[in-house]
Chains A and B, each alone.
Chain A
């Protein structure tokens, strides 16, 4: 990840230090896994890890999109609603008997289009991303209930086969196709950020938009691009979620944007932009997934402990970022 040096600041190069948040997340993940294994014998089953991926595949994809946006110093609050809207639109169109391939194309176009529009408003009219994507969130959530007030089941053959297909070894461990799709998205995103011009522009804009502009980088185009990418990732996430639940529900994914932002931050991406990796985001999502698994395994703890623990972790990681001196702007 050579792009790290680009944003390391004007005065000093701290490549190893910059990676401390990611390493800390990795350490935390390992410690949590070790605790799980030592406490519960069933935890050491490989399938537990696979299940974390299966249950959080869509979250992973959405978090990857969010990483792009946060790296430029923006924020996208619309992701949870766009996920729900994509699932809702696919379910509604499939119910009307449209062929699966066409539905996929339409569903995958909605997210990026909304993202593109939001990016344009943010760039051309200079309104804060927070407000614009908030409006996007309201719009998408409103569209969900506009389509249908109740959950729509999906019975389409392609969807059910994607949902039930198990890829695994003879010992019975398996992952779903969604996990593979999520991995492909992660790899493409990691490559884009690390080795392409777009990726470097993203880091440069996050580091300092003024300098990026003065350097002649296409600030506007990049900024619009990241919101489009985030919209695309949300759309893919929505499709994966509809594979996972085989339905479209108007209220699914409420508050998902918080989980996603938390995952990105725990993964070491700085919210003012300019520093962070897709790999960190993957770890962040895994941390959230393992917390949920641990709480499920424990059985005596209630679901609200998840929120409290995530809040605590957010605090710990932000403090860590602060302590090791990654400069907040």
Chain B
């Protein structure tokens, strides 16, 4: 009896339990509402079905959220990712649209390299503002969030650039091994980030910087470089996500591409259990968070509700997940009032920002 209780307790206490439970409940509700929800069929050598669609559409969000996870785990935040998506997509599409042969692989590669390069520079700009000049992350990236939209529109000259390039389109809609290519790109990025952070000391270094930048600097970690690095990684992830978004529709719209993706990404990270105060990060949680958000969106579409109204559901889910995860909320509503240690108040104790 006691054993089952403790096992039950461990399971409930596991950081992935609640996000996974939410995802499971949402999938189950969908299946009850629409029995064909989970069915997958093979057509022309490609797999089709709602679950595949959810995976494919969540790929850009997963990418952005991966970068965001690293940034948030250092105690920062990157609001500029949406604008970066727009910029990278705009540059790539602009370059391709100017070329005589849009289908040439070389042209597409050059376009991707250029766009990625610019994004890295912009990520470095964010990194310098935060790590060298010591500006609060939320503000430092707000600059690029506001100005970046303008830059993207400047690149596309306010137009929607349409391209007709097969290789570029493949990034968003292509297939490999019966599955959409976008899933593999997101998976590869996730594995790459996971390998670099969890198989090397990098992850622990990032967490230590997020826990206390000053202490980790005194312990011999170059906090500044680590912080700089996460913003560059975040920009790179956003750039690739931008390629996917524009490739999906074969056009670049400086105004609408990646709009609100930064908010969705932050949500995915928070739902995944990473605290906004930094110090710990959970890549698997982030991916589940992104899947939850995309499942929610798809569900709402399938129920014939306008996409804007889906924000209502998003609001409910956000508050529910955050409340469930909040230590204060759990303490208040847990039936056994044991000597719960006072929950670490995140909102009340903003950590010291150390110019590194």
- Residues of A whose CB lies within 8 Å of any CB of B are 73, 75, 121-122, 124-132, 134-136, 138-139, 141-146, 149, 209-210, 250-251, 258, 261-262, 265, 271-272, 302-308, 310-312, 314-315, 318-319, 322, 328-329
Contacts and interface: CB of A to CB of B under 8 A. Distances in A.
A75 B77 CA distance: 14
Nearest to B255: A304
A315 to B, nearest CB: 5
A189 to B, nearest CB: 23
B304 to A, nearest CB: 13
A115 to B, nearest CB: 15
B167 to A, nearest CB: 29
Contacts of B312: 138-139, 142-143, 146
Given A126-B347, A127-B322, A307 B147 contact: yes
B311 A138 contact: yes
6 contacts: A121-B319, A131-B266, A134-B263, A142-B314, A143-B312, A265-B139
Given A138-B314, A142-B309, A304-B149, A126 B154 contact: no
Given A126-B345, A302-B153, A322-B133, A144 B308 contact: yes
B266 A134 contact: yes
A209 B351 CA distance: 12
Contacts of B206: none
A318 B328 CA distance: 34
B151 interface: yes
In this complex, the interface size class of chain B, counting residues with CB under 8 Å from chain A, is 35 or more
A114 B77 CA distance: 25
Contacts of A126: 326-328, 343, 345-348
Contacts of B153: 302, 304, 307
B158 interface: yes
Tell me what chain B mostly uses at the interface: helix, strand, loop, or mixed: helix
A315 B143 contact: yes
A146 B309 contact: yes
A318 B135 contact: yes
A258 B142 contact: yes
Interface string B119-147: 00000000001000111101110111111
B352 interface: yes
B320 to A, nearest CB: 9
Nearest to B275: A128
Interface in B263-318: 263, 266-267, 270, 276-277, 306, 308-316, 318
A255 B128 CA distance: 26
Interface in B146-161: 146-151, 153-154, 158
Tell me what chain A mostly uses at the interface: helix, strand, loop, or mixed: helix
A146 B135 CA distance: 39
A131 B323 contact: no
Contacts of A307: 146-147, 149-150, 153
A73 B347 CA distance: 10
Nearest to A323: B133
A191 B153 CA distance: 42
Contact of B318 (A135, A261, A265, A318): A135
Contacts of A75: 138
Nearest to B145: A258
A145 B348 contact: no
A142 to B, nearest CB: 3
B150 A145 contact: no
A308 B147 contact: yes
A128 B142 contact: no
Contact of B350 (A272, A310, A312): A272
A38 B260 CA distance: 40
Contact of A128 (B313, B314, B319, B347): B347
Contact of A135 (B129, B319, B349): B319
Contacts of B343: 126
A328 B136 CA distance: 8
B353 interface: yes
B210 interface: no
A306 B153 CA distance: 11
B254 interface: yes
Nearest to B355: A328
Given A127-B326, A329-B353, A311 B308 contact: no
B33 interface: no
Contacts of B323: 121, 125, 127
By CB atoms of chain B within 10 A, which of A139, A142, A312, A328 has the most? A142
A302 B158 CA distance: 8
B322 A210 contact: no
B52 to A, nearest CB: 27
B8 interface: no
Contacts of A319: 133, 135
A308 B150 contact: yes
Given A134-B267, A139-B315, 17 more contacts: A125-B329, A126-B348, A127-B323, A127-B326, A127-B347, A130-B77, A131-B266, A131-B276, A134-B266, A142-B313, A262-B146, A307-B147, A308-B147, A310-B147, A314-B143, A315-B129, A329-B350
